[in-house]
């Protein structure tokens, strides 16, 4: 056991995200305003680090969107903070883009209980990752994104390895160069954010970097799938008063139509923003708008350029 811990300590010592910063050894003695300024300065470097990997991020997104357009799913897999970030991004997709909850999935080592407390040994199991993905019925149309700040977390690496054997598309997102995770995946994305303000707390810069990249993966993929019209979220589902007001505003911005016509279109479209916009801009009824959207695979811009021949 001692030799195992020694080997793990050696691995962690070699990681940029785990490096100790002696110049911050007395940070706890600084005034709160100075610590806040230090953190803010550290965080400002994160978008730059992400920007350095935009070509790799874009390639991974295009490959993901191509598979999802054919019915595939997007699956995030990670442990600890990385797993929670994946679950968060997945959980935002249904209310934001009106996706089926099964279309974008977040897996965290140890399952739902691990969202609020550590589940002993879960992140160290490649086999658990394979079991979790098997339970999803993973196919070659799916995309699996392994997320790990260190790039060595067994659960994330195991998820990517299993997914690749299944024929699924694989992406490895980490915050260290030359990571095992990136090497295991078809698309390796390594956002090098450097040592943390607090040694070992990779929920800081590394966590921010992962959140930014996951935002890009899900958001741009949804744009490619026709979930937006320009920069308007036209697949929003009005499930509460705020979203109902947002739906009306989106239809107004897209069409410039008067309030009465917007209300009528939304009522006829059963609240579907995309359908209401098409009805107004193409001057067609809800049934014809629905046909056009179906024929265009849900892409509003393509539906607007189509002719209703029925």
Alpha-carbon distance values, 20 to 25, 177, 288 (Å): 9, 17, 63
User: Does the annotation count 186 as an active-site position?
Assistant: no
Phi, psi of 82 (to 5 degrees): -60, -40
Tokens of 34: 């100075």
Q: Exactly one of 18, 123, 180, 272 is catalytic; name it.
A: 123
Residue whose structure tokens are 């279109």: 265
- In angstroms, the CA 287 to CA 110 distance is 46
User: Does the annotation count 127 as an active-site position?
Assistant: no
Q: Exactly one of 23, 34, 42, 92 is catalytic; name it.
A: 92
Angle between helices 205-224 and 54-68 (to 10 degrees): 40
- In angstroms, the CA 143 to CA 76 distance is 8
By the 8 A CB rule, do 229 and 301 touch? yes
- In angstroms, the CA 291 to CA 298 distance is 10
Q: Which helix (H) or strand (E) segment is 288 a member of?
A: helix 286-295
By the 8 A CB rule, do 140 and 115 touch? no
By the 8 A CB rule, do 277 and 261 touch? no
Show which residues are catalytic: 92, 123
């Amino acid at each position: 056991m001692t030799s195992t811990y020694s080997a793990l300590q050696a691995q962690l010592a070699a990681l940029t995200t785990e490096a100790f910063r002696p110049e911050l050894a007395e940070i706890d003695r600084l005034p709160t305003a100075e610590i806040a300024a230090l953190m803010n300065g550290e965080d400002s470097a994160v978008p730059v680090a992400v920007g350095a990997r935009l070509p790799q991020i874009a390639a991974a997104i295009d490959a993901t969107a191509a598979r999802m357009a054919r019915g595939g799913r997007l699956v995030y897999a990670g442990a600890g903070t990385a797993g929670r970030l994946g679950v968060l991004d997945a959980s935002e997709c249904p209310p934001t883009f009106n996706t089926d909850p099964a279309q974008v999935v977040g897996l965290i080592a140890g399952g739902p209980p691990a969202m609020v407390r550590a589940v002993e040994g879960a992140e160290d199991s490649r086999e658990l990752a394979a079991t979790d993905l098997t339970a999803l019925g993973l196919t070659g149309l799916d995309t699996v994104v392994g997320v790990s700040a260190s790039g060595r977390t067994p659960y994330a690496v195991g998820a990517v390895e299993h997914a690749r054997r299944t024929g699924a598309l694989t992406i490895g997102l980490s915050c260290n160069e030359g990571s095992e995770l990136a090497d295991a995946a078809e698309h390796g994305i390594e956002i090098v954010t450097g040592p943390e303000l607090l040694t070992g707390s990779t929920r800081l810069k590394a966590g921010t970097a992962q959140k930014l990249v996951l935002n890009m993966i899900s958001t741009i993929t949804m744009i490619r799938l026709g979930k937006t019209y320009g920069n308007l979220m036209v697949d929003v589902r009005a499930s509460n008063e705020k979203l109902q007001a947002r739906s009306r505003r989106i239809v107004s911005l897209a069409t410039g139509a008067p309030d009465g016509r917007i209300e009528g279109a939304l009522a006829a479209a059963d609240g579907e923003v995309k359908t209401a916009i098409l009805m107004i801009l193409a001057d067609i009824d809800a049934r014809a708008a629905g046909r056009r959207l179906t024929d265009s695979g849900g892409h509003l811009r393509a539906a607007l350029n189509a002719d209703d021949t029925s």
